[in-house]
Chain A
Amino acid sequence: MPIGGRKQPPTAVELEHATVTSPLSGREWELPGMWNRMFEQRVEWDFTTEGFEKIGSLEGGESLEWCYGCGKCVPVCPVDLVGEYGPRKIHRKVQTGLDLFTSDDLWLCTTCMNCLRVCPKEVDMVKVMPAVREVAVAEGQVPGELADVFEKTFRYGNALGENPRRRHAWTRDAGVDVRVLASDPRPVDVLFYVEDYWSYHPRGMQAARSFARVATALGVDFAILGPEEKTIGDSQRLAGEKGLFEALMEDVVATLDRYEFQRIVTPDPHGFNALVKEYPKRGHRYDVLHYTQLLAPLVDRIEWRKELDCTVTFHDPCYLGRHNGEYDAPRTLLRAIPGVRLVEMGRCRENGYCCGGGGGGMWLDGLTANHTSERLSERRVREAVESGADVLAVCCPYEVSRFEDGAKSTGNDQLQVRDIIELVDEAMGGGGG
């Protein structure tokens, strides 16, 4: 039987009409549906190779069949901890006839990559899931909430469906000048690729302002694309919209081609991932840094004005840590802040827990809630509280809102969720977001 958290009842099979013959009188009785109710049969009655054949024929789908059932992936799968899901289980379900293309299981994976880290057979769900999702998307089998985000991204160039012209509205209250290349196209050192959530989400905008103040104070020569910026769309790619991602790549590259810059710096590990790994596959090569990687080497130049006096724990973003191997830059910044006592959660660095936002999970909260006992972000918030921290520090734009919601819903309002840049800004005497 499923363990833990599965909220959906077994699929009921009801016959509209049934006629049974009495063994005594021989009389035929019509039975209404309520008496004909059956549940999914318990006995496994077939094993099939069809699912593997279909999935294995997709580029990136080959490795699902390689699973030999060791189960190392399941205890590290963030979804399995709150629900009935895990890569090994997907393999077995497909072997026993699951049509992954139409199953909710297809949308639960956050592509956090913790399974691949431990998989002896290199079953790569980070490739398998997007490959299968791409087919599901083409066939229109997409959860509505996700389809809505695809539509917004296609239409407005951002996942939130916000007005592209207001993409740099956050700069107004930054307290420092932020150069927009469209109006001032002089060459620049750092092209700051703000991405969606720092551009539009209220808490993200605070972080963006903090970054602008910190970068300015450190003498970083930076500028933004402003209204010309579109999302890189890496999470849309992993959620199955490869076509959209590639169309966005063309737009992004065309925009970037118009300006002279030395490096791209972004706060979004997802966009970072695509620029580092996907763009070069198409010949687009840039010098790309996550903002923590830009600032970490500069900490000695920071003039601190305030001691924060707080205990901070840090949540590694999957796409900065596991996917791209950067664990130290965020910690270097945190350790440099006066008054910050850094404590680690049990799951951190290579085995860091996932916030639930990756691979399209950001936009699948409704579907995921049907299959999990709590949100991944809620579980992570409880881990942060258990660590004794007052502040849960993050450096991925998805996470502030996810964890703030999680802190409220788990009754841990005392836990502050702050982007690292907000803490740095505050300790430098800025607004701190």
Chain B
Amino acid sequence: MGSERVVVIGGGPAGLAAAAAVADVGSAVTLVEWAPFLGGTPIAENYAALTPNMESAEVAMGRMIDRVTSNELVDVRLGSQVAACEPDGHGFRLELSGDGAGPLHADAVVVATGFQHFDPGRETQMYGYYEFPDVVALQDLEAMLKDHHVVRPSNGQPPERICFVQCVGSRDRQIGNEYCSKVCCGIASKEAIEVRQQLPDCKVFIFYIDMRMYGYWENQIYWPAQEQYHVQYVKGIITEVLQKGDKLLVRGEDTTMGRPMEVTMDLVVLSVGMEPSLGTRLMAKTFGVAQNKYGFIDAAHAPLDTVSTSRPGIFACGAALGPADLEDSVSSAAAAAVRAVAHARSHQPVGA
């Protein structure tokens, strides 16, 4: 073991995986998280079950957190953020602010600051997220599923008909998010299964442009949702949501039938995509690493090096690099960790 130290920024799935990996190979690691708790978005946004294996988010994240906090090589700084970064020999001198304020030397840095959910208020289509209480987003339904209390926010009654609207805030030039957010088809289908489990009488519809189920998600989520849970997939996206009595009227085109559609729903769930989190944007500036046009940190040597940024010694992983599911996030975290350790050790005196 050397005296090198890697600093990981962000305590979500990617940051926890990176910190654990750094410690696993015997380097000291400081994990900086600006929230007062670890677990990242799955905990902060009250996710119910993780995709695709449907394990409780709290249980699964709790296991990751324990693995990190129980390792003596890991120093966790909650409620803290990196305020400044200066070169320091071959490494960096970081200035932390917040609860763990103070200077910190880093031989290498892993940025794992993740994403935030697209704000449906920015949608150019009129989905009425802030107008209608019964229009919610994926994470709002997650919270209801976690409480086993899926209701129409307008009246507290269980919905009889729910629809998901895919690609909200993704694949849209006007919004500026031309990319596919990768996970929303799977998340919507997973939530649809959970709704059918919790409310067996509730009809669930998913309106989509095209279902993007990567790899095993096809048979792990999509096919069971359709074949075992009788979720109805309708090809054609919703363009607007209107009030009709105490219901919501969703309007769009049924593209396989080539006809307009106007269907009433009790609850409309917007499958919001991913945008770079505020933390990702701030850290990109603080560390002076290049961002792509969408604000995600640029993987400078992609596709075969997915974790190096434009600045040597600064690595990134997870959804800070762009839309990523959990499996991709923890995989890139391990890759970033090993690259960061290698970078840190390459400048350490042998046997120090």
Contact = CB atoms under 8 A, between A and B. Distances in A.
Given A65-B226, A66-B226, A43 B259 contact: yes
Nearest to A52: B230
A286 to B, nearest CB: 36
A115 to B, nearest CB: 16
A95 B232 contact: yes
Contacts of A1: 258
A47 B161 CA distance: 10
A47 B258 contact: no
Contacts of A56: 230
A117 interface: no
B261 A44 contact: yes
Interface string A61-92: 00001101101000000000000000010001
Given A44-B254, A47-B205, A49-B203, A68 B233 contact: yes
A307 interface: no
Contacts of B211: 68
Contacts, number: 53
Interface in B221-266: 222-223, 226-227, 230, 232-235, 254, 256-263
B230 A44 contact: no
Interface string B112-151: 0000000000000000000000000000000000000000
Contacts of A71: 256
Task: Indicate the size class of the contact surface on chain A.
Answer: 20 to 34
B263 A44 contact: yes
Task: Indicate the size class of the contact surface on chain B.
Answer: 20 to 34
B260 A44 contact: yes
B259 A65 contact: no
A66 B227 contact: yes
B202 to A, nearest CB: 10
A68 B233 CA distance: 8
A49 B223 CA distance: 16
A61 B266 CA distance: 30
A43 B260 contact: yes
Interface SS majority for chain A: loop
B262 A69 contact: no
B249 to A, nearest CB: 10
A65 B227 contact: yes
A53 B261 contact: no
Count chain B CB atoms within 10 A of each CB in A1, A47, A48, A56 and give the residue with the most: A47
Given A47-B205, A47-B234, A96 B257 contact: yes
A46 interface: yes
A44 B262 contact: yes
A45 B232 contact: no
A94 to B, nearest CB: 10
Contact of B232 (A42, A49, A121): A49
A418 to B, nearest CB: 43
Nearest to A67: B226
A95 B257 CA distance: 11
A69 B255 CA distance: 11
B240 to A, nearest CB: 14
B248 to A, nearest CB: 14
Given A68-B211, A88-B256, A96-B254, A45 B263 contact: yes
Contacts of A52: 230
B256 A43 contact: no
A96 B211 CA distance: 20
Contact of B262 (A45, A92, A96, A121): A45
Interface in A2-50: 42-49
Contacts of A121: 223
Interface string B259-278: 11111000000000000000
Contacts of A95: 232, 234
Contacts of B205: 47
Interface string B191-211: 000000000000101000001
A53 B230 contact: yes
B314 to A, nearest CB: 43
B26 to A, nearest CB: 48
A45 B230 CA distance: 20
A1 to B, nearest CB: 7
A222 to B, nearest CB: 48
B253 to A, nearest CB: 9
Nearest to B259: A44
A44 B227 contact: no
Interface string B175-186: 000000000000
A69 B259 contact: no
B230 A49 contact: yes
B261 A65 contact: no
Contacts of A49: 203, 230, 232
A96 B203 CA distance: 14
Contacts of A68: 211, 222, 226, 233
Contacts of B226: 65-66, 68
A44 B257 contact: yes
B256 A69 contact: yes
A53 B230 CA distance: 9
A398 to B, nearest CB: 33
A46 B261 CA distance: 8
B263 A46 contact: yes
Given A45-B262, A47-B263, A49-B203, A65 B257 contact: no
9 contacts: A44-B254, A44-B260, A44-B262, A44-B263, A47-B205, A65-B226, A71-B256, A96-B254, A121-B223
The 8 closest A-B pairs by CB, nearest first: A44-B261, A43-B260, A44-B254, A44-B259, A66-B227, A43-B262, A92-B256, A49-B203
Interface of B: 203, 205, 211, 222-223, 226-227, 230, 232-235, 254, 256-263
Given A44-B254, A44-B262, A47-B263, 10 more contacts: A43-B262, A44-B257, A44-B260, A47-B261, A69-B233, A69-B235, A88-B256, A95-B234, A96-B257, A121-B223
